[in-house]
């Protein structure tokens, strides 16, 4: 089981047609030779506050079944 020591939103794109964010969230943890990259989609308006966006993207990535992160 890995515990994330750092999280980064590596790529972020807003799809205006579908009103959703598409992102790649990277998890850095001890013992991982490379960051774990998880693609996510989040239905949200484009004016979502940055802290809320980061939190929502991180939670969406964790829900994708990342084990112990």
- The model's pTM is 0.80
Where in 1-69 does DSSP place strands (E)? 6-15, 20-28, 36-43
User: pLDDT tens, 45-59?
Assistant: 999 999 999 999 999
Contact 22, 46 (CB under 8 A): no
| CA angle centred on 54, ends 11 and 62, rounded to 5° | 85
User: pLDDT tens, 7-64?
Assistant: 899 999 999 999 999 999 998 888 888 888 999 999 999 999 999 999 999 999 989 8
Domain locations in the chain as residue ranges: 6-63
């Amino acid at each position: 089981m890995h515990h994330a020591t750092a999280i980064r939103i590596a790529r972020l794109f807003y799809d205006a047609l579908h009103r959703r964010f598409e992102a790649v969230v990277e998890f850095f943890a001890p013992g991982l030779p490379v960051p774990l990259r998880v693609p996510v989609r989040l239905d949200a308006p484009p004016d979502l506050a940055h802290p809320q966006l980061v939190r929502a993207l991180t939670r969406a990535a964790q829900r994708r079944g990342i084990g112990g992160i």
